[in-house]
Structures are given as structure tokens and as C-alpha cells.
Amino acid sequence: QQQVKQSPQSLIVQKGGIPIINCAYENTAFDYFPWYQQFPGKGPALLIAIRPDVSEKKEGRFTISFNKSAKQFSLHIMDSQPGDSATYFCAASSSASKIIFGSGTRLSIRP
Amino acid sequence: DAGITQSPRYKITETGRQVTLMCHQTWSHSYMFWYRQDLGHGLRLIYYSAAADITDKGEVPDGYVVSRSKTENFPLTLESATRSQTSVYFCASRPGSNTGELFFGEGSRLTVL
């Protein structure tokens, strides 16, 4: 049973555009929602994370929007750059459950 | 250097052979994890360990064996490799419980012929 659904599977955006990656979860006990960024040949690394007591979190050009009632959260990348080209994974967990990852989004930023 | 290291980085083996992927971390993190990454499936948890001598199954444990005799090491063994186990394997660690940052190794790409 896939508990975290991520879309789209791939995304191409022009430099300066705002790619948006969406995730939906099922388990209402989840209380920690991180995003991981992975470059080719490397392991994933934590990019930004949010807890459900806030609706938005910004770190630099990266923003998480969180909708608790809809059980959805999304990643927005402002002023996207070619160096942002990577695979992005959303994830969810709680103190009582292991972290569950989405299926990943391969993002390509065209110059 | 401190961190989490995996070996080998690349491995080609044949069906039926035993393969062991090594994972070593220098942070003394309590939790360690093994994931496999396949296109369209994201990262799927194979096994994890909360401390030395404590291991538990994840989402896809069949065909894999783990052990954790020391806090810093968490080897993953494929007792009889199958083609479906061709994948990229990632080891990860975390100091605390179920929330908080996971620190990943650089991965081990395994091909089973």
C-alpha cells in the first residue's frame, strides 16, 4: 500500500520558472514531512522539512506548502536554476511509524 | 572523514550467488537503514536497525538478510541473488527516532545477470 503519492514523475521547466511537485498522504498520524534532493550518482540529502502545525515553510528559493485537511503538501522552487536539476523525493513519517518515501520526481531545468 | 560509506560502489554478480553490501558510519547514530531505489518506485525500505543487535523488516525484506553486531556497521546480504534484485542500494543513518534527518551513503549499484 503506497502511503505517499508523488506527482509528476518527471518535469521540465525553463530557467527562472517555478516547478511544483505535489505529494499526497493517507496516514493522518504522519507529523513530519521532509523533501530530499538527489543528484545523479549521489545519495539523497535533506532539502527542507515541515511539520503540520504550519501551512508554509521557506528556505531560500525552496518553499513547502502544506494542506492538512486535504492531506497534501507540495514543493515550489522559485527562480529555478539548471543546478536545481535533480530527483526530488517527498516523504512522511511519525513517531510511531517509519519514514515512507514518494516515488520521486525527475526535474530538469532548461537554460 | 566522518560520514557514511558504502562498499562496493558497483557490483556485477550472477543469479544464485551470495552478495554482501557493506555500510559503515562514523557518527554513532542509533538507527541505520537499507533502501533500494528503482525507477517508478522511489526509495523502498528493506531493513532497518534501531541499535546494535536490533533489526526489523521494512517494506521489501524478502531475499535479504542483515546483521548489526556493531553500532557503526550494517551489512546487507543477498543470500541467493535474483535478477529482480538488480537495483541501487542506499544505506542511511539517523541519530534519533522516526523523525529527523536521514543521512544517506552514495549508494551501491548492483547488477544481477
Average pLDDT of chain A to the nearest whole number: 93
Determine contact, residues B31/B93, Cβ cutoff 8 Å: yes
Mean per-residue pLDDT, B86-97: 90
pLDDT of A98 reads 78
Q: State whether B99 and A96 contact (CB < 8 Å).
A: no
Residue B2: pLDDT over 70: no
Sign of CA dihedral A107, A108, B3, B4: positive
Whether the link from the prior residue into A40 is cis, omega within 30° of 0, is no
Chain A residue with the nearest C-alpha to that of B94: A99
Q: Is some CB atom of chain B closer than 8 A to the CB atom of A78?
A: no
User: How confident is the model over A27-43, as pLDDT tens digits?
Assistant: 888 989 999 999 999 99
Residue B54, helix vs strand vs coil: strand
Q: Is pLDDT at B81 greater than 70 in this prediction? A: yes
- Residue in B closest to A104 by C-alpha: B42
Sequence letter at residue B111: T
Strand partners, B55: B49
